């Protein structure tokens, strides 16, 4: 008989190199990661594992019983896989080999080292006897050319807004609301967190989440069943780790669906917006986030931000990779993609000018614009008009 177990799903992503620019990792890099995951399954370090990529970011999805932040999962499996893929990338001359491996993992896990980490743990005991989670349905989102705050709007809308999730009107457990853990990503000395709850904090949560460059949802849990973690997001900003622009943060999120939580189709709903996010080329633009199939290269103009979504069921023994569903590959999303491209083209026609198309200078401080502005500093001169008031002239 299969024992009830505490299962952890770890989704760990990194950009360790890509072909011809920031497009996609090479097939041999993907193979290198798959062989590390395959060995981890054979050695019973993990129960199951799946590798995919979104743009130039490789994502490892793993189920295991070793808990969140486990050294063996983070370092012996994920980091090892990224090192192997980096070796391949270097050998092949790929662009940005090892890009996201910014710091050595001295604390025994990968948080704050560059790779993005989203982990969720739960008692896994599916079956009719289990009234809270009769089965376990999971979605993994992976986005490229944007930051963790990109998930703020879609996750919030599904959990809090009946215009995007009528399940809030129909399901008593969902209607009780959700607990949001929000992180201040500008704070680098430890995690600065705030916990707020819907429905009563709806406007306060929205006030924070509108600033996607600073605040990101890190975790959501159910109020009806507080032990049910609903969503976890990799909410680190690389430039705060490395002190310079080193690529965007390209976040992953793991989300649970169905049975007392929003249904899969309700989690899908807000992605029809193609909401505009910070990202795109050189991480310095405002562009819509376009849903794409998993394993899609970024090849359009100005690196349009993209997001993929993979859905799967977790078997009683913790396996999941026999059959995964590529949510955004369906033609239903072609219309959304068309609209996202249209919005992007409309914005880019305005080129570099105006707040809607490029990020504010404060966000570009890690890029070349800061150097250009610094170089111009000494060439500014302050001229006092000769007819200025006497006291101003006296100060001269």
- The residue ranges that bind ligand 13P (CB under 6 A) are 15, 22, 55-56, 96, 99, 144-145, 247-248, 250, 281-283, 303
Convert the chain into a string of H (helix), E (strand) and C (coil). CCCCEEEEEEEEEECCCECCCCCCCCHHHHHHHHHHHHHHHHCCCCCEEEEEEECCEEEEEEEECCCCCCHHHHHHHHHHHHHHHHHHHHHHCCECCCCCCCCCCCCCCCCCCCCEEEEEEEEECCCCCCCCCCCEEEEEEEEECECHHHHHHHHHHHHHCCCCCCHHHHCHHHHCCEEEEEEECCCCCCCCEEEEECCCCHHHHHHHHCCCCCEEEEEEEECCCCCCEEEEECCCCHHHHHCCCCCCCCCEEEEEECCCCCCHHHHHHHHHCCCEEEECHHHCEEEECEECCCCECCCCHHHCCEEEEEEEEECCCCCCCCCCEEHHHCHHHHHHHHHHHHHHHHHHCCCCCCCCCECCHHHHCCCHHHHHHHHHHCCCCCCCCCCCCHHHHHHC
CB of 360 to ligand 13P, least distance (A): 17
Q: Which of 248, 249, 250, 302 is catalytic?
A: 248
Q: From the CB of 252, what's the least distance to ligand 13P, in Å? A: 13
Residue number with CB closer to ligand 13P (127 or 243): 243
The distance of closest approach from Cβ of residue 250 to ligand 13P in the complex, given in angstroms and rounded to an integer, is: 5
User: Does 248 qualify as catalytic in the annotation?
Assistant: yes
Give the one entry of Mg ion, ligand 13P, none that residue 303 binds, where binding means its C-beta sits below a cut-off of 5 to 8 angstroms depending on kind: ligand 13P
When the beta carbons of 148 and 283 are compared against ligand 13P, the nearer one is 283
Which candidate in 15, 100, 236, 249 is catalytic?
15
CA distance 60 to 37: 8
Q: Which is nearer to Mg ion, 248 or 275 (by Cβ)?
A: 248
Q: Which two tokens stand for residue 105?
A: 């993992």
| Cβ closest to ligand 13P, residue 25 vs residue 274 | 25
CB of 370 to Mg ion, least distance (A): 21
Cα–Cα–Cα angle for 86, 88, 94, nearest 5°?
A: 80
Q: Which two tokens stand for residue 299?
A: 């090849």
Q: Which residues pair with 119 in a beta bridge?
A: 10
Q: Which residue lies nearer to ligand 13P by CB, 56 or 181? A: 56
10 Å Cβ neighbour count for 213? Answer: 17
302 annotated active-site: no
Identity of the residue, 201 or 250, whose beta carbon is nearer to Mg ion in the bound complex: 250
Both tokens assigned to 266: 């309700």
Q: Among residues 245, 249, 302, 366, which one is catalytic?
A: 245
The one of ligand 13P, Mg ion, none whose footprint includes residue 165, by CB under 5 to 8 A per kind, is none
CB of 196: closest distance to ligand 13P in angstroms? Answer: 30
Minimum distance of ligand 13P from residue 143's CB (angstroms): 10
Query: For residues 333 and 291, is the Cβ–Cβ distance under 8 A?
Result: yes
**Contacting positions for Mg ion (CB under 5 A):** 15, 22, 56-57, 96, 144, 247, 250
Q: Which is nearer to ligand 13P, 69 or 96 (CB)?
A: 96
Shortest approach of Mg ion to residue 146 CB, angstroms? 9
Instruction: Please give the structure tokens belonging to residue 292.
Output: 């794409």
Closest residue to ligand 13P using C-beta atoms: 247
List, by residue number, the catalytic residues.
15, 245, 248
């Amino acid at each position: 008989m299969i024992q009830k177990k505490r299962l952890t799903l770890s989704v760990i992503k990194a950009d360790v190199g890509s072909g011809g620019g920031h497009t996609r990792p090479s097939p041999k890099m993907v193979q290198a990661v798959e062989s590390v995951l395959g060995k981890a399954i054979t050695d019973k370090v993990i129960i199951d594992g799946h590798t995919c990529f979104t743009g130039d970011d490789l994502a490892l999805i793993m189920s295991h019983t070793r808990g969140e932040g486990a050294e063996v999962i983070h370092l012996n499996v994920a980091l090892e896989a990224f090192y192997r893929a980096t070796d391949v990338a270097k050998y092949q001359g790929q662009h940005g080999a090892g890009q996201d491996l910014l710091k050595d993992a001295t604390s025994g896990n990968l948080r704050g080292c560059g790779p993005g980490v989203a982990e969720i743990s739960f008692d896994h005991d599916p079956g009719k006897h289990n009234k809270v989670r009769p089965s376990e349905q999971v979605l993994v989102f992976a986005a490229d050319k944007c930051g963790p705050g990109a998930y703020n709007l879609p996750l919030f809308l599904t959990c809090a807004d009946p215009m995007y999730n009528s399940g809030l009107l129909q399901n008593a457990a969902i209607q009780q609301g959700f607990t949001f853990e929000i992180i201040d990503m500008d704070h680098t000395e430890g995690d600065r967190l705030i916990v707020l709850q819907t429905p009563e904090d709806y406007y306060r949560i929205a006030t924070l989440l509108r600033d996607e460059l600073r605040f990101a949802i890190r975790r959501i849990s159910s109020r009806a069943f507080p032990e049910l973690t609903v969503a976890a997001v990799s909410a680190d900003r690389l430039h705060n780790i490395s002190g310079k622009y080193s690529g965007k943060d390209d976040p992953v999120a793991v989300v649970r669906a169905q049975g007392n939580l929003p249904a899969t189709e309700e989690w899908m709903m807000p992605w029809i917006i193609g909401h505009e996010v910070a990202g795109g080329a050189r991480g310095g633009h405002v562009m819509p986030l376009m849903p794409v199939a998993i394993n899609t290269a970024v090849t359009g103009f100005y690196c349009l931000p993209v997001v993929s979504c993979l859905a799967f069921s977790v078997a009683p023994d913790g396996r999941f990779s026999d059959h995964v569903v590529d949510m955004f590959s369906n033609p239903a999303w072609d219309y959304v993609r068309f609209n996202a491209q249209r919005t992007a083209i409309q914005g880019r026609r305005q080129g570099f000018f105006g707040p809607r198309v490029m990020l504010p200078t404060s966000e570009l401080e890690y890029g070349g614009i800061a150097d250009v502005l610094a170089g111009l500093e000494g060439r500014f001169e302050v001229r006092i008009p000769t007819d200025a008031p006497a006291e101003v002239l006296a100060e001269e």
